[in-house]
Amino acid sequence: MRTQNEKHSGRIMVMSKVGKSILILGGAGFLGQKLLRQLFADGAWCGHPIASVTSADMTALPIDFPNVSEIVQHVGNVADEDFISNVFQKHYDVVYLLASVVSGQAELEFDVGYRTNLYGGIKILDAIRAQATDTKLIFTSSLAVFGGEVPEGPILDHYQCNPQTSYGSQKAIMELLINDYSRKGYFDGCSLRLPTVTIRPGKPNAAASGFASGLFREPLQGVETVCPVSTHLAMWVSAPRTIITNLIHAGKISADDWGMQRAIALPGISVSIEEMISSMKRVAGEEPVNRITYKVDPFVENLVRGWPAKVIPEKAIRLGFAQDRSFDDNIRWFLEDDKV
């Protein structure tokens, strides 16, 4: 596997008639685009040749996206039944379900969040079920499934879900459904509870965790920004490179190895806002740090306080998922991969 810091050469992938057909729901988003780039960089998926790659999202991929002519694109709303029916006119060996309404928007727009993240998700599960029993489904869940009256200290694999946001509730329900559909043999699914992914490139979005990217992305690109939470708050975070590595690795895990619980917390690192800012200073110097001002936003702070700050991802480590080493790497990798 080529590492994600290697710039994409734009080479043509040789598609195989006997290879895997891959669908990425949310392919035009941040993670979707990075996953697509990695697939073309590798020229394979989990050691298997690739027959076709399809992206389905609200928007099309940029016209200058590498190998865009080799990617089948469907543009529409994943909550729309006709759109999903059209996407699933063909069989897919692998489905990545990355598309969702983000946390902050799902909390503020109750109906929109449930229509997309839950009811749209169920339509997708049923579309896969109607096709075959051998499809691999990899769903991006969230640590927002935890909350409320959890014990002090780190989150363990066996802790009960008790989400305190609509977004977390939607993800938790999808996890249960994926467990049940997989138990019935309708497909081979898993749910990956992602840490906060930082540093995300591009423009800010409505995710409550988006500040954890903007806090570094903007200053590193010469733009002032505001820190909306107390700097002593800690978060469970992971770099985009590590997340993409783990999204692909999930495809290698057998049903037997998943066992009866197919939802796991992915590895990350527990780091405070203050420690993350110190990492930026070590890697990039004082100037970016001086572009940060501090003003607590109670809405964002209350949401973040409800998220686990530390996790012990025992099962994920046992299954071979990758773990970040330090936030210094996150800063360096952003400068190498995504700074504009």
Q: Six-digit token pair at 81?
A: 């039944």
54 phi/psi in degrees, rounded to 5: -125, 135
* Residue 71 pLDDT greater than 60, yes or no: yes
Helix, strand, or coil (residue 176)? helix
pLDDT band at 203 (very low <50, low <70, confident <90, very high): confident
- Residue 138 in contact with residue 190, Cβ under 8 Å? yes
Give tens-digit pLDDT for 156-184: 988 999 998 999 999 999 999 999 999 99
With a CB cutoff of 8 Å and minimum separation 6, the contacts of 157 are 261, 264, 265, 312, 313, 314, 315
Buried b (16+ CB within 10 A) or exposed e, 164-183: bbbbbbbbbbbbebbbebbe
Q: What is the reported pLDDT for 17?
A: 65
* pTM higher than the cut 0.75: yes
Domains of the chain in start order, with CATH, are: 20-195+239-268+310-324 (3.40.50.720)
**Marked catalytic residue, from 114, 167, 181, 186:** 167
171-175, 197-201, 245-249: least confident range: 197-201
pLDDT band at 5 (very low <50, low <70, confident <90, very high): very low
Per-residue pLDDT, averaged over 211-230, amounts to: 96
167 catalytic residue (yes or no): yes
Percent of the chain with pLDDT over 70: 94
